[in-house]
Each structure stands twice: as C-alpha cells, then as structure tokens.
Amino acid sequence: MARAEGAYLGLAVGDALGATVEFMTPREIAHHHGTHRDIRGGGWLKLRRGQVTDDTGMALALGDSMLRSGRVDPVDIADAFSDWMRTKPVDIGNTVRRGIVHYRSTGECRVPPSEHDAGNGACMRCLPVALGYLGAGPETLAQANRRQAHVTHNNPVADAGTLTVLKMVQAALLGEGPTALRALADDLAQRHRAYRFDRRRMENPSAYLGDTLKAVFQSLFATDDFESALVDVINRGGDADTTGAILGMIAGALYGRDAIPERWVSTLEKDTRRRCLTQARSLITLIPSLRAAL
C-alpha cells in the first residue's frame, strides 16, 4: 500500500515539479533556476503552485473509470476522457485531443493504427492499470493497456514502452529492486532500438516516447533515491512534466511513499493529493474483480 501511494504521489509531484520547466533546455533551466528542485508553479502554462497538468489529470480520469466500471472498459474510458476535456484542462496533447474528437464524432473508442502515435500520452496516464492489474498475467496486462492506450494512441512501439513501464511499476510494488527494473528496461531496449538508453545522455527529451523513456531510465538507474532521480530527470528539460510524471510513478513505487520529500507532497493541491491517495487504495482492493473482468 505504501508503494502504491508512493507511485500515485510520485506521478503528481513529478508532473507539478516538471511543468515549471517544460519545453526549456537544460541551459535555460540552469540560467533561470540553477537546479530546479522546488514546486513553484509558473512555466509556460502559468500554473498555480502545486497544480498538476494533463499527465495526472488523465491518470485520475482513467482511474475513476476503472473504479466505476470495475474493469478497463474502452467506452467508459473514452467518456471519461471526453468529460475531462470538457473541464478545459490546462493542457492537452494534440494526439489526445484528436482521439477524443474521433470518439465524439464516430462513437469509436479506438483510433486507427498510426506511426505518428508513438508519443508519450498513453504512457503518462497508465498508472491505474499497473495497480488494478497487479498479479494479472502478462497477456491480460498487455490487453488492458492496449484498451486504454488505443482510445487516443494506437502504435505498437508505444504499446511496448508503456507495457514495460507497467511491468516496472508492478515489480516495484511487489518489492523488487533496481536490478529487476533494469532487466525489464534492458529487455525493451533490446527489442526496440527506439528505447536504447545506454548511449548518449538524453537532454531536452521530446514528447516521443522513445526520447521520454531514455531520459527516465537514465535518471532512474543513475541515482538511488526518489529526490535525486526526479531532480535529475526534470533538469534535462524538454517534456519535463511528463518525464517527471513517469519517473515519479516508477520511483514512487520503488522507494515508497515515505521516500518522497514532504515539501513536495504538502505543496500539491489538496484535491489532487486526496484523489491520488483514494485511487491508490481503492485500485489495490479492486484487484480480484479486475483480474476476472477483462
């Protein structure tokens, strides 16, 4: 439970911390912030201090849908994403917007396969699937992920990357350490060259999932505590709220809730913190019904 709560709070603090420097280069970050290490809002979205963005917002929408329907139901998820878009979120990715508009106009909760859908939008929101399908077999997990992902992103390379993130979170939830997580990342890199992270340092990562996960893996495996890992990935700039969110969920599961600095958790907006903790606890208890319900 502490690891599940850590994963959810890690996602939200990573999003809130990274959003301030999203789309900046490491050089610009160093110039304006030195090392960026405190949640202070601002950035190109002009956020309130402690406010999160679409990464956390979509994960919470997906989690609400799973709790409501007791499974990963693509129609219910598409409705949840559509409702979320109606709340006028502070940011929304182009591929996500296109997928939701596709659902509204056709009623189809699955976009056609596209080589352009390898962005990080389906990965940044995947956390509820990791918790809800803890202990499920690999094919059930993969299928649950494809159902949520393909509402907006239908691409096999992105599916493979997101599935690996889900497996890493699950391994960490079950008490595995960095060695087991590294083996999962290495296996992904071996199967898809887009994810080879053992080469050049990834700075200014784009919203392409290959870039995003290279930065996340490099920061995760170069550090040994939550704060160092998150500060390292955020200060690479680029799609920093999303690298922060993905690293935050993995590292939060790996190191547990108590490893997340209290100054970050207490700065999160109250409603966000409450929803994260409620979903973490509820999704873990939903496990048996979810496993049976795909």
Q: What is the 3-state secondary structure (H, E, C) of 198-252?
A: CCCCCCCCCCEHHHHHHHHHHHHHCCCCHHHHHHHHHCCCCCHHHHHHHHHHHHH
231 close to 10: Cβ distance less than 8 angstroms: no
Report the residue number, 235 or 242, with the smaller CB distance to Mn ion: 242
Binding-site member from 14, 16, 51, 54 for Mn ion (CB under 5 A): 54
Binding-site member from 3, 5, 13, 53 for Mn ion (CB under 5 A): 53
Report the residue number, 31 or 44, with the smaller CB distance to Mn ion: 44
To the nearest whole angstrom, how small is the minimum distance from the Cβ of residue 208 to Mn ion?
Answer: 12
Per-residue x/- marks for Mn ion, 138-167, CB under 5 A? ------------------------------
| Full DSSP string of 22-49 | TT--HHHHHHHHSS--S---BTTTTBPT
Quickly count: other Cβ atoms within 10 Å of residue 204's Cβ: 18
To the nearest whole angstrom, how small is the minimum distance from the Cβ of residue 287 to Mn ion?
Answer: 28
Nearest C-alpha neighbor of 21 from the set 51, 45, 50: 45
Number of residues that bind Mn ion (CB under 5 A): 6
Print burial letters for 162-184: b (CB count within 10 Å at least 16), e (below 16): bbbbbbbbbbbbeebeeeebeeb
51 touches Mn ion by CB under 5 A = no
To the nearest whole angstrom, how small is the minimum distance from the Cβ of residue 54 to Mn ion?
Answer: 4
Per-residue x/- marks for Mn ion, 210-239, CB under 5 A? -----------------------------x
* Cα–Cα dist 2/110, whole Å: 34
Backbone angles phi, psi at 53, to 5 degrees: -120, -155
Which residues 6+ apart lie within 8 Å of 137 measured at CB?
Answer: none
55 touches Mn ion by CB under 5 A = yes
User: Distance from CA of residue 77 to its chain's centroid?
Assistant: 16
Report the residue number, 73 or 232, with the smaller CB distance to Mn ion: 232
Report the residue number, 54 or 76, with the smaller CB distance to Mn ion: 54
Residues 237-256 that bind Mn ion (CB under 5 A): 239, 241-242
To the nearest whole angstrom, how small is the minimum distance from the Cβ of residue 59 to Mn ion?
Answer: 11
To the nearest whole angstrom, how small is the minimum distance from the Cβ of residue 182 to Mn ion?
Answer: 25
Which residues of this protein are in contact with Mn ion, per CB under 5 A? 53-55, 239, 241-242
